[in-house]
Amino acid sequence: MATTHTLLWDSEADTQAFATRLADALQAVGGDAFIALHGDLGAGKTTLVRHLLRALGVSGRVKSPTYAVVESYALSAFAVWHLDFYRFNDPQDFEDAGLRDIFASPGLKLAEWPDKAAGHLPAADWQLHLHSMGDTRRTVELRGHSARGAQLWSACAGP
């Protein structure tokens, strides 16, 4: 079931265009998905999430959950949680933060630095590995790991 796709984003506009297609795909599948975001500091993980949340209709400030660990958004169609495990020193921090209920609930989960919660997270529908190639250019390796992941790719790959 695992699939891999490599994308090249030459600018932030490419990131935004992909986020818009992903938003449409998520709405088509009811928004229930887990997307794990990997990449060094500055790779564009939070930027992608901000564009995605905007495309899903979130207005107002979209802040990084680096300090709060989780930011939640209640959309009319589904709930969204943006999580950032960067500050976790031990995977047990996941349990201590009481995040298990989020992953047991329907809705979209977007997790930055998922490796820092290893062993506590469910399998992701998508693993996105972002690599910076300068100020605006990114290569993105998208790995689908589920039927839902394949469905999302089909819906957002587009022309």
Question: What type of residue sits at position 26?
Answer: L
Please give the pLDDT value at position 159: 52
pLDDT in tens, 65-118: 777 888 898 888 899 999 998 888 877 777 888 888 899 999 999 999 999 888
The string of pLDDT tens digits covering residues 10-32 is 888 999 999 999 999 998 888 89
Other CB atoms within a 10 A radius of the CB of residue 133 amount to 12
Note every long-range contact of 121-124, with CB atoms under 8 Å and residues 24 or more positions apart, other chains counting. Answer: 121/34, 121/36, 121/94, 122/34, 123/34, 124/34, 124/35, 124/36, 124/149
